[in-house]
Amino acid sequence: MTTTARQTGASASPYALTHLDALESEAVHIFREVAGEFERPVILFSGGKDSIVMLHLALKAFAPAAVPFALLHVDTGHNFPEVLELRDRTVAEHHLRLHVAKVQDYIDDGRLRERPDGLRNPLQTVPLTDTIRELRFDAVFGGGRRDEEKARAKERVFSLRDEFSQWDPRRQRPELWSLYNGRHAPGEHVRVFPLSNWTELDVWQYIARERIALPEIYFAHRREVFRRAGMWLTAGDWGGPKAGEPVETRQVRYRTVGDMSCTGAVDSDAVTLEAVITEIAASRLTERGATRADDKMSEAAMEDRKREGYF
Shortest approach of other proteins to residue 193 CB, angstroms? 11
Under the criterion CB under 8 A, does residue 259 sit at the interface with other proteins?
A: no
Helices (H), 71-199: 81-93, 103-108, 125-134
Distance CA 17, CA 4 (A): 9
The span of 3-11, 45-53, 115-123, 239-247 binding other proteins (CB under 8 A) equals 3-11
Shortest approach of other proteins to residue 111 CB, angstroms? 28
Shortest approach of other proteins to residue 29 CB, angstroms? 4
Query: Which amino acid is present at 164?
Result: F
Taking CB under 8 A as the criterion, which residues in 151-210 touch other proteins?
151-154, 160, 169-170, 172-179, 181, 183-185, 196-197, 199, 201-202, 205, 208-209
Query: Which amino acid is present at 194?
Result: P
Selected binder of other proteins within 39, 64, 116, 186 (CB under 8 A)? 64
The H-or-E segment that residue 67 falls in is none
The span of 20-28, 100-108, 116-124, 248-256 binding other proteins (CB under 8 A) equals 20-28
Q: Mark 124-153 with x for binding to other proteins (rule: CB under 8 A) and - for no binding.
A: ----------------------xx-xxxxx
Selected binder of other proteins within 213, 229, 247, 300 (CB under 8 A)? 300
Under the criterion CB under 8 A, does residue 277 sit at the interface with other proteins?
A: yes
Q: Which is nearer to other proteins, 113 or 298 (CB)?
A: 298
Taking CB under 8 A as the criterion, which residues in 208-227 touch other proteins?
208-209
220 burial type by CB count under 10 A (0-12 exposed, 13-18 middle, 19+ buried): buried
Distance CA 253, CA 287 (A): 12
Distance CA 22, CA 253 (A): 29
Under the criterion CB under 8 A, does residue 10 sit at the interface with other proteins?
A: yes
Selected binder of other proteins within 100, 162, 236, 286 (CB under 8 A)? 286
* Length of the chain measured in residues: 311
Under the criterion CB under 8 A, does residue 266 sit at the interface with other proteins?
A: no
Residues 6+ apart with CB under 8 A from 43: 51, 54, 55, 58, 67, 69, 70, 71, 72, 141
Q: Which is nearer to other proteins, 249 or 278 (CB)?
A: 278
CA-closest candidate to residue 277, choices 207, 221, 230, 223: 207
Q: Which is nearer to other proteins, 75 or 148 (CB)?
A: 148
Under the criterion CB under 8 A, does residue 96 sit at the interface with other proteins?
A: no
Query: Is residue 122 a contact partner of residue 259, using CB atoms and an 8 Å limit?
Result: no
The H-or-E segment that residue 250 falls in is strand 247-254
